[in-house]
Amino acid sequence: MCSLLAGLCFAQDSFQHCTAAFLDKDIVVDEYSPKGTCVLPATAIGELTVQTVELSATASKPTGAIPFKLAIRDGKTHTLTLFSNADYTGIAIQSVLAKCRKGDRLVLLTLNKQYALPHNEILIQ
């Protein structure tokens, strides 16, 4: 499993650090692997962050927030719209979900190629 995780994070020379989306201290992806999916209910609460992550077979621990941008992909038209011009290190998910409908996706964008974020879309249910 560790070699699979390393392959996800280090598949290209540019990406030196594994990152993941977190809602408060909980990782959003259900499985940090190519099969992993990110889903949040439309009623979710907490702070959304993108953090470097320490991966192990039993847990995924956040180790530091990084700046990111946020966009919303419309569930019907698949149009991608930038949420704001701001760079975030954390944002209240409730303020983002207020602009979303079920079926939309949040798209997280890193600002530096040193950070691999393989699970960068979050489905809103």
Based on the structure, what is the number of domains in the chain? 1
Question: Who's near 75: CB < 8 A, 6+ residues apart?
Answer: 101, 102, 103, 104, 105, 124
Pairing of strands 115-116, 17-23: parallel
Amino acid at 67: P
Which residues span the domain enclosing 17?
2-124
Q: SS3 for 70-118, per residue?
A: EEEECCCCCCEEECCCCCECCEEHHHHHCCCCCCCEEEEEECCCCEECC
Q: Looking at residue 61, what is its pLDDT? A: 86
Average pLDDT over residues 100-123: 97
pLDDT over 90 percentage in the chain: 76
Residue 10 reports pLDDT greater than 60: no
Contact by Cβ (8 Å): 89, 21 = no
Task: Dump pLDDT digits (tens) for 33-92.
Answer: 899 999 999 999 999 999 999 888 777 889 999 999 999 999 999 999 999 999 999 999
**Residue 13: pLDDT band by 50, 70, 90 thresholds?**
low
Average pLDDT, the chain: 90
Instruction: Write down the pLDDT at residue 56.
Output: 80
Provide the pLDDT confidence category of residue 8 given band limits of 50, 70 and 90.
low
What is the rounded CA–CA span in Å between residue 65 and residue 62? 8
The H helix count followed by the E strand count for the chain is 2, 11
